[in-house]
Amino acid sequence: MTRVLLLVVVLALAAGCSTTAGAGSGGSGGPSPSPVAASAPADVARGVDALVAAAEEHPGGGRAWASVIQAPHRQVDRDVGAAGIAAGLLAVAEGAPDAAVRDRALDTARDAADFLVAAQRGPGRFPDYVDPGPDGGEWAPAGYAYSSYDDGAAGVADLLWSVGERTGEQRYRDVALDAAAWLVERAEDVPGAPACPAVCRWAWSDDGEPSYRNGMGEGQAGIVYALSVLAERSGDRRLAEYAAGGGAYLLTQQGPDGGMPERADVSARNTGFLSGAAGAAFSFLRLYQATGEQRFRDGASRALEFLDRSAVEDRGGRTWPIWVDPTGAVGNPRRATGMEEGAAGIGWVSLQAAAILDDDAHRERAEAAGRWLLAVADTRDGGTSWPEFEGASTTHLSTNSGAAGTGWYLDTLGRVTGETSYRDAAVGAQRFLAGAQLPDGSWPSNLTDGRPRLVGEPSWHWGTAGVLGFLTRMSGGPMDTPAMQPPLVPLG
């Protein structure tokens, strides 16, 4: 997502963006549209229509969507559920050029939020899914609920607060705080450590054998991030204490090499944003912003130094294996491209680290990731896409591992650096997605050997909602959220 912005536009964005705003935030000036943005409003309008057509009325209020990936469930979460779909619709509501499309998107985001409110089983507890019974019978929930950002209460709370901000309806923010309170109630002491809230951890699920995961998507880092931003928005210092306590636990999980295992019971160090060092660095940077505490700055620096040591120089750029063992030996040699596990996500965090830590080495890491992404891109008929990992036969279209997320990162990198090659690749991703849109207005989750797969997936991470977010950004929309969380500092 690369482009050169006039200085006045950069200044307008920097003045308008908030470092702690939720998914619905953005600068009032807004970025300039891409050179092919003339087609994007029509693509976005058709995509919104596809989401509206796929929605199902919930008898308790609101509308839900059936996930193709998690079929047949009507998920609540940010990953494949209503919360993530609402995030994409909020992006459209903030930035689509056509007022009627903005209104339709906001109305549908409110419907998704109403479903989330109705889906609760106890204040702030969101079951993994709520499904209709046979022949349209009574809707029934899953018997378990998750704590994490991608799968449960942390991410749902962040989204509902954003809907409340955008609509002015306090009831959504009240439920967001209920979800934060549910997380506080579920916070656990750590054996051998000072009592929570000095040091806290969370089990991924409230059912079965506890699993303590560390990542932004499924674990501690994402919960810490959500509690920290909700504390700032609400003024609730208790949430800030629990966020810092979760950060203290994450510091104990960080290896002496700066690496972060995906779970407390494994030693492998993941590199990416979802479950590894990049996501840990993002969470530590957020805590450093909120608290000014050196321990969190140091944790972020160690995680980023780990990424430098585990990087592979290739084709004039830099890439990363998905994970390495504690000795630094490569465990999974696949070198992913996307926001979730790959170079795009590592580069995106590095851009923010460069600004927050005032260190150009982090910007160079971000640019090296960008150069590698340019080198491994597939370009045909004016469109640009990326394999899931180098040599893969699967090409994702989505934000997590595909053209929408990687193109979004390259657009951001181009804004920061002024390099037109990054901008051109982002515009190519926009063209690729325009060409891949299906007749009903949706997008397939991926192309495998050139054939559409997981057709009709509505979600942010894997489907239509995330593609809409990227295309709206390329049309001049203000929301800059390739990883779903907004950047910690304005990135152009």
Q: Can you give the pLDDT at residue 134?
A: 86
Q: What is the pTM assigned to this prediction?
A: 0.92
- Point out which residues pair with 460 in neighbouring strands: none
3-state secondary structure of 389: strand
pLDDT of residue 39: 66
pLDDT of the residue at 380: 81
Instruction: Name, in order, each residue with C-beta under 8 angstroms of 246's C-beta and a sequence gap of 6 or more.
Output: 187, 200, 201, 202, 220, 223, 224, 227
* Residue type (1 letter), 394: T
Strand positions, DSSP E, 177-325 = 260-261, 269-270, 312-314, 317-319, 323-324
Q: Which tens digits make up the pLDDT trace of 331-390?
A: 989 999 999 999 999 999 999 999 999 999 999 999 999 999 999 999 987 899 999 998
Report the Cα 131 to chain-centroid distance in Å. 25
Closest C-alpha to 76, from 58, 94, 101: 58
For residue 42, the cross-strand partners are: none
Q: Which segments of the chain have a pLDDT < 70?
A: 1-30, 37-39
Contact 64, 131 (CB under 8 A): no
Q: What pLDDT score was predicted for residue 25?
A: 34
Return d(Cα 240, Cα 238) in angstroms, integer. Answer: 5
3-state secondary structure of 489: coil
Which residue, among 299, 317, 345, has the nearest Cα to 484 in the 3D structure?
A: 345
CA 124 vs. chain centroid, Å, equals 21
**44 vs 104: CA distance, rounded Å:** 11
The per-residue pLDDT for 37 is 64
Scored b (16 or more CB within 10 A) or e, 250-272 reads bbebbeebbbbbbbbeeebbbbb
pLDDT on residue 382? 82
Bond into 197 cis (ω within 30): yes
pLDDT at site 255: 95
Give the H/E segment covering residue 395: strand 394-396
The Cα–Cα gap between 294 and 247 comes to: 12
